[in-house]
Amino acid sequence: MNESRHSLLSWANELLAMNITKIEEFGTGALYCHIVDSVYNDVPLNRVKFNARQEFEYVNNFKILQDAFTRHSIKRKIPVDQLIKCRMLDNLEFVQWMKRWWETVYPGDYKPLERRQQTGAVADGPAAGAGAATAGPARRPVAVASRPVPARATTPAPAGPGAAGSVAGAGVGTRPAAASSRSAPVSGRSTSTSLSPTLSASDGQSAPAAGSAGAGQPSDAALSLLSRYQEQVQSLSESIAERDLIISGLKSDVDFYFSKLREVEIVVQRTVLQLQGAGDGTATDPAPSVEQLLAAIQSVMYRVADGYEIPAGAPPVGAPTTAPSAGAPTASMQLDEPEEF
């Protein structure tokens, strides 16, 4: 049964004496190397980058882990390409497997702090969780040792006139360290006093400028530009709405005339099938005559859409028309008059 990430983090923190907070931290490869070292004590932890931040450093750690797997004949493929992405699910699966493997081979009595100190694993910097336990105490003596330096320089204060002379000479005496340490506070005080009038004057000048800029109103040019942009936006919005109406009307016209074309196609196909059946004697219905075919096509062509009103004075839809005389203009030739639908 697979363990939860919380139990795995508790196990790893207890085994390695670290403060691991997320499964994603295993993606650097350093913790995997440390777990293998808890079993065999032969992983070169001094070469493991516990403070790895770049992908090439992750790859270096996984190379060390692969060498340990090969050396101890561990038949398990390491999905390096997935683990170095530091995704939780990929590393959770590998940590679960490593916990099960560790339970079968762990000899016991592993001291991770001593092991890291022996191999010098903390020389490269703090690890993801071990830095707080190992690198912190190593840095404190350095900071404490650097503090007494000014104190030692100021101890010969009761030197009498010689000390005053060294201060007045600004480092010309025989003890430049003490002179420089004493002259630094003096120069610091003189700098602060000399700059104080300048700062107060600049504060007095900058305060009204900042106040006037914050309380200022938009200029007339800005208001005019804003008004012009608003008019342009309104005009474009109206144009877009008008275009949408035109497009909607065109789409409805396309659908209307396509349906007419399809109905005419059906009438013609049915007539063709009836004629073919009449020819070979398999027809069930008699084929229509030419007049009947034209009448059917005409009824489809002149059928109006739902809600369409016929203009006053117009001939009824589908009414028979007389053939035009020779030379007389037909309706199709009168292109100047727009057609109404």
Looking at residue 66, what DSSP letter applies?
H
Cα Rg, the chain, nearest whole Å: 47
The residue among 97, 115, 142 that closes a domain is: 142
- CATH code at 77? 1.10.418.10
The residue among 110, 142, 174 that closes a domain is: 142
Residue at 97 is within a domain: yes
Domain residues for the domain of 294 are 228-300
Whether 135 and 246 share a structural domain: no
The angle subtended at Cα 112 by Cα 45 and Cα 5, nearest 5°, is 95
Pick from 28, 41, 45, 35: which is nearest to 14 by CA? 35
Residue at 337 is within a domain: no
pLDDT 10s digits, 115-174: 888 877 654 443 444 333 333 333 333 333 334 444 454 444 444 444 444 434 444 444
Structural domains of the chain, count: 2
SS3 of 234, please?
A: helix
81 sits in which H/E element: helix 80-83
b/e burial code for range 252-279 (CB count within 10 A of at least 16 → b): eeeeeeeeeeebeeeeeeebeebeeeee
pLDDT 10s digits, 170-227: 444 444 444 344 444 434 444 433 434 443 434 444 444 444 444 567 888 888 889 8
Residue at 334 is within a domain: no
Whether 129 and 20 share a structural domain: yes
Whether 17 and 134 share a structural domain: yes
- Give the dihedral sign, CA 182/186/189/194: negative
Q: Are 113 and 17 in contact (CB under 8 A)?
A: yes
Whether 233 and 138 share a structural domain: no
Whether 133 and 238 share a structural domain: no
Please state the pTM of the whole predicted model: 0.39
